[in-house]
Amino acid sequence: RLLIIDFGSQVTQLIARRLRELNVYCEIHPYQNVTDDFLAGFAPKAIIFSGGPDSVMRDGSPRPPQSAYTLGVPILGICYGQQVMMHDLGGRVEAGEHATAEFGRAYVAPASDHPDFLTGWFLDGKEQVWMSHGDHVAEIAPGFQVYGTSPGAPFAITADLSRNFYAVQFHPEVHHTPNGATLYENFVRLAGFTGDWTMGAYREEMIAKIREQVGSKKVICALSGGVDSSVTGILLHEAIGDQLTCVFVDHGLLRLNEAEQVVQMFRDNYNLNLIHADESDLFLGQLEGVSDPETKRKIIGKLFIDVFQKYADQIEDAEFLAQGTLYPDVIESVSFSGGPSVTIKSHHNVGGLPEKMGLKLVEPLRELFKDEVRALGHELGLPASFIGRHPFPGPGLAIRCPGEITRDKLDILRKADAVYIDQIRKHGLYDEIWQAFAAILPMRTVGVMGDGRTYDYALALRAVTSVDGMTADYYPFTHDFLSETSTRIINEVKGVNRVFYDCTSKPPGTIELE
């Protein structure tokens, strides 16, 4: 296994991701925890020093244990990691001044000969890289040679080939170093990794870690039916079986047959302790007459916590709460003062619960990106249709029913949404679209059907492409698709006599209507 020593870079997790893509097992540990003893116990086959915000010239700035250099294993230092290596091994680092600090895109050109570490590099002469450094190496350590330079970093790529030590000033793990993965590939090959680690192995490791963390204690998990909470629940179930209880809160704002499908899927395939908390009367009752979007969200968020707590209280001596937090939800950084600080975005449905209930957190997906969670879901046997589902917001249909929510409107919306999604699937467009849904508009319009006048609801259809939901473009359906879908909805769903297609991007619109 490979050890990544984290000196606090915002992109350390991307190193781990690049290595997982190469099927190499690695672990990230903050530098404070990596002592000589730790290192001896861990027995890494190779080590990577991450970047970091500090300056090696500052007294007390982060360092690896010095035994790292005498273990006889390959080391790769990145940015701050390079500077640490040069400093520790007898080179010299200079403080950044405006003239030498470098941020953003740069081009590295070859210098001297072409070591094995650079196989696949400089095929077209120079390589685009991403730099982000204040300090810079002024003198390389004895034994090192320069293999790549950039205008701002004369020592952009350095190595001591006899010891298998490599040190680069730029960040090969980020997207803006397009050929960066090749350097990781070369490094792990030179370190003797065969790339035989898989998501199946990750599953086993996570299961072992969960068992170690939880012991014989009980765990509760809020299952929403989304991919993240589903994978979390199943992984926990594999690890600790009946010590886990999942609570599926049905707030009455789910899509057509969704609650039944989710519960059925879990009962049929996984046999886990699952409480189906049908609290729709409570939620819909409290939402009666409420039309302000933020008030809706607040009511739903608060009720969710109350309800979850009510069910969780029935489970005696639950000590842990399992949550499907993903890496992008976690901003981890090692601050200048030395202590790692962790901030989690507060958008989780159960945010605030652990403190309130005195629960400890189990977050087995904390290291993963969304596509890796999907791969893990696949590994755990979740049906493909489940894994590939579009995102669905916590407040559910409440925010797709602008204005006042009534059971009538929700029924109409559910049916229309099902027809719309059926159309998208039939035309093979589901996976091309990031999110698609119908919304019921707070107005009635006049129409004519057969010989009669109608006065029914109007519906808005939304479909967007996006990478992360932060920005989005509306999906360019063909006119044929739109007419066919509009006709089907009006014919099949009583209560709708008009269909609009929303062709607003985000910004200026948002994805949801509220």
Cβ neighbors of 468 (< 8 A, separation 6 or more) are: 328
Q: Is 422 in the site for ligand XMP (CB under 6 A)?
A: no
Task: Please identify which residue in the block is written with the tokens 């960040």.
Answer: 171
Establish if 65 lies at the interface with ligand XMP (CB under 6 A).
no
**Nearest Cα to Cα of residue 159 among 82, 246, 69, 248:** 82
Whether residue 227 is annotated as binding a ligand: the answer is yes
**What mask, x for binding ligand XMP by CB under 6 A, covers residues 282 to 301?**
---------------x----
Considering the rule CB under 6 A, would residue 435 count as an interface residue with ligand XMP? yes
The residue length of the chain stands at 514
Residue 212 appears among annotated catalytic residues:
no
Task: Indicate whether 364 belongs to the interface with ligand XMP (CB under 6 A).
Answer: no
Does residue 395 bind ligand XMP (CB under 6 A)? Answer: yes
Minimal CA–CA distance to 352: which of 388, 309, 313, 311? 309
CA distance 239 to 199: 16
Binding segment for ligand XMP (CB under 6 A), chosen from 87-95, 321-329, 367-375, 506-514, is 506-514
Which region, judged by CB under 6 A, interacts with ligand XMP, from 212-220, 258-266, 268-276, 386-394? 386-394
Rounded to a whole number of angstroms, the minimum distance from the CB of residue 297 to ligand XMP is 5
The region of 104-112, 189-197, 364-372, 503-511 touching ligand XMP under the rule CB under 6 A is 503-511
Check binding of 226 to ligand XMP (CB under 6 A): no
| AA identity, residue 126 | K
DSSP secondary structure letters along 142-189: TT-EEEEE-SS-TTSEEEETTTTEEEESS-TTSTTSTTHHHHHHHHHH
- Answer left, alpha or beta for residue 236, where phi above 0 means left and psi between -120 and 50 means alpha: alpha
Among positions 71-130, residues that touch ligand XMP (CB under 6 A) are none
Annotated ligand binding at 467? The verdict is no
Q: Concatenate the DSSP letters of all residues of 109-125 into one string.
A: EE-S---GGGTT-STTS
Say whether residue 225 binds ligand XMP (CB under 6 A).
no
- Does position 512 bind ligand XMP by CB under 6 A? yes
486 known member of a binding site: no
79 is catalytic: yes
Rounded to the nearest whole angstrom, what is the least distance from the CB of residue 361 to ligand XMP in the complex?
19
Nearer to ligand XMP, 347 or 356 (CB): 347
Q: By CB under 6 A, which span of 63-71, 193-201, 264-272, 387-395 interacts with ligand XMP?
A: 387-395
- CA–CA distance from 376 to each of 16, 21, 201, 210, 227 (Å)? 16, 13, 10, 15, 10
Asked if 385 is part of the footprint of ligand XMP (rule: CB under 6 A), the reply reads no
CB–CB of 327/369 below 8 Å?
yes
246 is catalytic: no
Six token digits for residue 95:
């403080």
The secondary structure element, H or E, covering residue 320 is: strand 318-322
Write out the residues near ligand XMP by the rule CB under 6 A. 297, 347, 391, 393-395, 435, 469, 506, 510-512
- Active site amino acids: 79, 171, 173
